[in-house]
Structures are given as C-alpha cells and as structure tokens.
Amino acid sequence: MVKQDMNATSSEKNIHTDFTNNMTYGEYLQLDKILSAQNRLSGHHDEMLFIVIHQVSELWMKLILHEMTGAIQSIEKDDLSTAQKRLARVSKIQTQIIQAWDVLATMTPSEYMEFRDSLGQASGFQSYQYRMVEFALGYKTEHVLKIYQKDPELHSKLKDAYEAPGLYDVAIHALHRAGLPIDGEVLNRDVTMSYKENDSVREAWMTVYQNTDKYWELYELAEKLVDIEDWLQQWRFRHMKTVERIIGFKMGTGGSSGVDYLKRVLDQQFFPELWAIRTEL
C-alpha cells in the first residue's frame, strides 16, 4: 500500500498546488457566491433540500434558455444541424430536472409544513426563467408579466422574450423557405399570442414525414421538437405529483390553486401539428 501511494504521488508530480498568482477552480466557478446562497429562513433541516433543488432547477433552466436561444438563431440561418445538436442537449437537460423531483419527494408533508410559512407568497409560479421557456416554446400570456413589475430590468427582459418569435415560429418559417406552402396569416402572425393549430402547417409537416429523404433535416428538427415537448410534459407531471404528495390540494404559496392548476397545464400543447399528424400517417 505504501509503495502504491509513492508511485501515485510520483506519477502526479505535475499537479498544480501553488495558486498564489493563478485562478483556482472555485474562483472560476464563483463557488463562494453559489455555495453561500442557501439561506434557510426557518432553520429547519429540510429547508436546505427545498432551496437547493429549486436553485439547481433554475441553473438547468438557464442552460435550457441558452441552448434554445442558440437553436432559434441557427434555424433562422437554416443551420438545422447545429439547431438539432442544441435541442438534443435541451432534452438531456430536461431529464436532469425531472429527476430532481424524485429527490424533493423524499420530503414528507409534515417536514414541509415545518417551514412552509417562511416562504410567504414566494412560489415557483413566479419563476421568470420558466416563463421565458414557455415564451420560447410559443406559449404567451401577457398577464404573467405583472408579476415582475417590481424589477424594471427583469420586466424589460421578460417583455423582450414575450415579443420575440418562439422556437416553433422559426421552424415554421424554415418550412416555408424549404418551399412548403404556409398560410400568410401564420407567417405574419402576432408572436405575442399563443400559437394556434393551422391546417397549412399540418400539411407541411405531413409532407416532411412522408418524404423524409428529401426533407431529412426538417424531419430531424421536428423530432427534436417532439422530444422537448414530451420531456416538458413529463416534467410537469412529476411536478404535479410531487406537489400532490407533499401538500395535497392546498392552495399554492403564490396564490394558485396548486395541484388543480398543475393538472390543467398538462393539457397545453406547444407543437400541435407534430402530434396531430401521428394519427394520420
């Protein structure tokens, strides 16, 4: 054992140990800020779990938005292969967020009630990054912007995202540029409104799926979009069941109906034609 330790030490002699004038791992990641941001208001042991799970989810959402923004820009340039790569990464990130609910579900109702009052009216319903994800996917609701009026800079950021074309908007324009007929009312639609199903878009996607060799990149893009919606709905379902498991049907801290609200949003669709054509193919 001693000989093995000596060999290991000898083989790793080039490991840096003097960081007097060099940046460390912790400094690069700003771990002092990240790891000092878990401030329990109640002092209850399980509040740490609650805070960390939600902070980690927000970090993952930050990366999702980064990748979606990049994908939108790539699609606008008809660089569909790069867009597919970024959207594939989004799907992998989504699996991580879904698994986070399994960790939070280890907290019992009795444990949560010990510190729930400390949250006041703060709620995940107010997550501005989640709203930006919804906006990027084409689900637009102007009334939620009121939540962020307290912070003018943040409100402006949300408003920009609200007024920007979403992932599906640019995908539909890519269909049009590929020579597939799309109604002008869709191409020129008000992107601050939630997307509504359209026959010309359904027919265009049907053509893509029936001619995959000719429209391979659009076909692959479509499947990446389906992946993202599929995983998002699974995330929503795990969210709903975790909330039901911990607080039942109590009202949410932010004033929503809680589980009832979470069940209703399970019926929302972002890319309706991509699901509709599966019955027709």
Quick one: which of 275, 81, 64 has its CA closest to 174? 81
The answer to whether 53 is a known ligand-binding residue is yes
Angle between helices 272-280 and 216-247 (to 10 degrees): 110
The answer to whether 242 is a known ligand-binding residue is no
Copy the structure tokens of residue 92: 């992998």
The answer to whether 253 is a known ligand-binding residue is yes
At 184-235, the pLDDT tens digits run 999 999 999 999 999 999 999 999 999 999 999 999 999 999 999 999 999 9
228, 171 Cβ separation under 8 angstroms: no
CA–CA separation, 261 vs 255, rounded Å?
Answer: 11
The answer to whether 128 is a known ligand-binding residue is no
CB atoms within 10 A of CB 42: 14
pLDDT of residue 130: 93
233, 244 Cβ separation under 8 angstroms: no
The answer to whether 52 is a known ligand-binding residue is yes
The answer to whether the predicted template modeling score (pTM) of the entire model surpasses 0.95 is no
276, 206 Cβ separation under 8 angstroms: no
The answer to whether 212 is a known ligand-binding residue is no
At 231-269, the pLDDT tens digits run 999 999 998 998 888 888 776 666 666 788 788 888 889
- Please report which confidence band the pLDDT of residue 6 belongs to, taking 50, 70 and 90 as the band edges: low
Token pair 């599966």 in the structure block, residue:
278
CA–CA separation, 56 vs 25, rounded Å?
Answer: 19
At 68-99, the pLDDT tens digits run 999 999 999 999 999 999 999 999 999 999 99
Copy the structure tokens of residue 207: 């053509």
Mean pLDDT of the chain: 91
The answer to whether 112 is a known ligand-binding residue is yes
Copy the structure tokens of residue 58: 């927000």
Q: How far apart are the first and last CA of the chain?
A: 65
